[in-house]
Structure 1
């Protein structure tokens, strides 16, 4: 555990929150006006490598990295957010005219009309629920499936969460730049932000957190996301995620400043009575003195949460090696960030 001046109160609150999360390994970390506090725990014996030093799978939180990359390419004029995705991919024989109207912005904001995952992948998951169907799903198959998929609605008219849509951003950005998605993300996002502990592939033995099934004891192999890398392949350390959230809180004037500001702009409202706001990549909820922004993610054995409150300069990272509705990590992390947003100090 590390604390900074003014940090003991936050440390106590983090320690209390850790006890409310039912997971083998838990890390909660807060940055507040640049001062960091990290607390870890869990129901399992502590691993040989301290929990805060491990690298965790981010699942859908990876989407915020991919869309930040997309925003950076747009800021520098490499592409436009309103380009049709078909203009940024190899030529495809589209099976429905709506597919040609899907833009990069639609993919980023889940308004493309594409289903959550491709039908063939869904069918495989129903037959083999404990197997990772993403690992064998390559880019050629992804593009072929996109070409024959009929959007559920006209692009831009409804919000419908789609791993399928976000996955297409990877090959679209790669085809546009001539650089594959992992190298592009590393060069334009990870290195400029100094995220040396963040990767898209497993690390060496002992450095990666080991996920578990819902029973909390059965280990789960590392998640290979195949062609869905842009939607869920990033893995990172608590320290790197604090650096990542601090970059969003204080964009400054660095090479990603324009993109970091772009992804904070509210773009659409969704949900019951349109109460929920969405930026290019973050969920935005009202809070004291200004909105808080957040995103969550899960793989087959891990969960992740990152959120921040620009008005108070507060960011929160939560990571756990368990995926399950009884874990309470996401709820606990959100409630803690909301409470910290209302604090005066």
Structure 2
């Protein structure tokens, strides 16, 4: 159970939280004003590579990296958030007029009207629930599907979470810059922030955490996201995620300060009584001494949480190698962040 020097009380607090999470491998990490505390454990035997040194699948937390890339291109004048999506793609024969009104901002904020996943992918999942349909879904197919998909509502009028929508940022940004999305993300986000342990592809044997199904014992192969990479393909070490959250807490210390500030600006309200806010990429909830921001993600065998409270300079990272609500990782991590925001740690 590694801990940061000078943080014994917080380490014990994280160790207690760790006991609430049921997963083969778990990492909980907190950064407070730049001081880090990391604990790890799990129900499985410790792997040969220490858990905090492994790379974990982030699932939908990947969206925050993609939208930060989008924001960086926007603040540098290479595109506008309000550009129509179709203006940033190869020419497509659209079947529905509403599709032409979708902007890049709509994709980032889940207000495009596009469904969560394409209908054909959903049907595959219903027929073969343990099959990874993403892996065989290429960019050409994604664009064809977009061209014939009718948005459920007028773009910009309602919030509806969409992996489909965020995935379209991949071909849009690649077409705009002439650089493939993985290379673009690496050059514009990962390298400037010093995220050397973050990638979109599996690493060498022993460097990546192994996911498990809901039973906590059945291993799951590494998740190939195909054309949905922008929505869920990023993998990162806990150390890199701490560095990433610290960049959001203290943007002026990074080369991406303008983009990091831009992705934290509240844009729309949602949830019960509209108490919760959505920025360009983060969920924003009320908390003591100011709002907190967070995002979660899951693949077929892993879960991830990242959240931060700007007012106290606090960030929380949580990772687990099990998929399922009974794991309790997301709830535990969120409650930890909320408590730290209120009591000063």
Whole-angstrom CA distance in 2 between matches of 1:253 and 1:46:
36
Whole-angstrom CA distance in 1 between matches of 2:23 and 2:253:
39
Aligned: 1:88 with 2:82: no
Residue in structure 2 matched with residue 26 of structure 1 by the alignment:
26
SS state of the match for residue 332, structure 1?
Answer: helix
Deviation at 1:275, TM superposition (A): 1.7
Whole-angstrom CA distance in 1 between matches of 2:332 and 2:152:
34
Residue in structure 2 matched with residue 238 of structure 1 by the alignment:
238
Deviation at 1:281, TM superposition (A): 0.2
Residue in structure 2 matched with residue 307 of structure 1 by the alignment:
307
Residue in structure 1 matched with residue 128 of structure 2 by the alignment:
128
Tell which deviates more after alignment, 268-277 or 112-121. 268-277
Residue in structure 2 matched with residue 101 of structure 1 by the alignment:
101
TM-score (norm 1): 0.99
After superposition, give the CA deviation of every residue in 1:215-274 in whole Å (9 maximum; x if it has no partner).
Answer: 111110000000000000000000000000000000015321000000010000012221
Counting matched residue pairs gives 345
After superposition, give the CA deviation of every residue in 1:3-38 in whole Å (9 maximum; x if it has no partner).
Answer: 345411110110001100010100000000000000
After superposition, give the CA deviation of every residue in 1:96-154 in whole Å (9 maximum; x if it has no partner).
Answer: 00000000000000000000000000000001000100000000000000000000000
Whole-angstrom CA distance in 2 between matches of 1:27 and 1:273:
34
SS state of the match for residue 198, structure 2?
Answer: coil
Over 4 Å off, 4+ runs? none
Residue in structure 2 matched with residue 291 of structure 1 by the alignment:
291
Residue in structure 2 matched with residue 70 of structure 1 by the alignment:
70
Residue in structure 2 matched with residue 340 of structure 1 by the alignment:
340
Native 8 Å contact 1:2 1:36 kept in 2 = no
Residue in structure 2 matched with residue 320 of structure 1 by the alignment:
320
Residue in structure 1 matched with residue 159 of structure 2 by the alignment:
159
Give the aligned CA root-mean-square deviation in angstroms.
0.8
Whole-angstrom CA distance in 1 between matches of 2:120 and 2:165:
15
Native 8 Å contact 2:247 2:254 kept in 1 = no
Native 8 Å contact 2:2 2:40 kept in 1 = no
Pairs within 5 Å for 1:156-195 = 156-195=156-195
Whole-angstrom CA distance in 1 between matches of 2:273 and 2:309:
24
